[in-house]
Amino acid sequence: MRAVALAMLGHHPDSEDVVQEATLIALSRIGDVRDPDAVGAWLRMIVRNACRAQLRRTSPVPMAEPPDPPGAGPDPADILERHALGDWIWTALDRLSPKLRLVTMLRYFTDVTSYAEIAAVCEAPVGTVRSRLSEARAKLSNALLTTADTAHDDATARNAVHRRFGEETFKAVERGSVTKALGDRWSPQLTVTWPRGSHTDLDYLRAAWSRDLEDGVRHRLRNVVAGRDVVIWEDELNSPPDDPSHCPPSVVWVLQLDGSRISRIRLFHPK
């Protein structure tokens, strides 16, 4: 366990803290391990999760993986483990309430990471965001423990479905088919909250998107984060060459789902 922490965090006091934290987690759940041969992999996964959490807390810059030696391909075991880890995390996330799940998704899976920005997206005070994140971390730790040995949904496949839908939507808009883009997947009773706080309906969104298209604004879907009932699009906006300040450089879409349909949207321009 210490070797894993040192490999990820280096010779730093944080690595010792992470081992202690992981040990407490492991001791509290050791009775759930049914296969003695799986203990080593189970312990290493707990340490890696704790290290990743520590890196997110201490570094705003993604940590680069060391380069593979020339001619070396990816290790299939590592690929499978990464997918399994992602599925496990999302299974636990889905056990959080919608409000706790949203702040967690924004904080750890998008570029909207500051308390002020998350507060703006959630239309809540900064203090409320802090308390929600604190509660979410505590509940997520418990959810990870209780779902460690259960079957997990395929989070990668779910994310791919929503990314494909987003890309197809933006491509249809760019072709001028705004009405087609905002089709059956969008509820007729859709409500849209714009960055300045105004509320409109689907028809207004359709008209606004058509105006942007006519003005030469183009969209590029940069990131998709898909949960069970909320999906986040990070959308890069490209202003027309003759009007470079026509629109902000990006917009975040928070899509609330009601079954398979989008029922609410919150739009936000990151700084």
CATH value at residue 125: 1.10.10.10
Asked whether residue 20 carries a pLDDT value surpassing 90, the answer given is: no
Same domain flag for 181 and 226:
yes
* DSSP β-bridge partners for residue 191: 201, 264
Asked whether residue 9 carries a pLDDT value surpassing 70, the answer given is: yes
* Alpha helices (H) along the chain: 2-9, 13-29, 39-58, 76-93, 98-109, 115-122, 126-146, 155-174, 178-181, 202-215
Asked whether residue 175 carries a pLDDT value surpassing 80, the answer given is: yes
The amino acid present at 137, given as its one-letter code, is: R
Residue 68 lies in a domain: no
Same domain flag for 106 and 179:
no
Same domain flag for 235 and 198:
yes
pLDDT of 62: 43
pLDDT of 253: 96
Residue 229 lies in a domain: yes
Same domain flag for 179 and 248:
yes
pLDDT of 239: 92
Asked whether residue 59 carries a pLDDT value surpassing 60, the answer given is: no
Give the domain extent around 7. Answer: 1-57
pLDDT of 159: 87
* DSSP β-bridge partners for residue 251: 235
pLDDT of 255: 96
Q: How many domains does the chain have?
A: 3
Same domain flag for 169 and 221:
yes
Same domain flag for 244 and 264:
yes
pLDDT of 90: 81
Same domain flag for 163 and 263:
yes
pLDDT of 70: 52
Average pLDDT of the residues in 46-54: 83
Residue 145: band (very low, low, confident or very high) from pLDDT cuts 50, 70, 90: confident
How far apart, in whole angstroms, are the C-alpha atoms of residue 42 and residue 45?
5
pLDDT 10s digits, 187-232:
999 999 999 899 999 999 989 988 988 999 999 999 999 988 999 9
Residue 80 lies in a domain: no
103: CB partners within 8 A, 6+ apart: 118, 122, 129, 132, 133, 136
Same domain flag for 160 and 246:
yes
Same domain flag for 187 and 243:
yes
Residue 117: band (very low, low, confident or very high) from pLDDT cuts 50, 70, 90: very high
Same domain flag for 250 and 192:
yes
pLDDT of 76: 46
Same domain flag for 141 and 216:
no
Here the tokens at position 260 are 């398979």
| Interior angle at CA 29, CA 27 and CA 34, nearest 5 | 115
Asked whether residue 92 carries a pLDDT value surpassing 90, the answer given is: no
How far apart, in whole angstroms, are the C-alpha atoms of residue 202 and residue 185?
12
**Domain-terminating residue out of 153, 182, 201:** 153
Residue 251: band (very low, low, confident or very high) from pLDDT cuts 50, 70, 90: very high
Same domain flag for 244 and 203:
yes
Residue 77 lies in a domain: no
43: CB partners within 8 A, 6+ apart: 1, 22, 26
Q: What is the pTM of this model?
A: 0.67
Least confident of 76-80, 120-124, 168-172, 231-235: 76-80
pLDDT of 149: 62
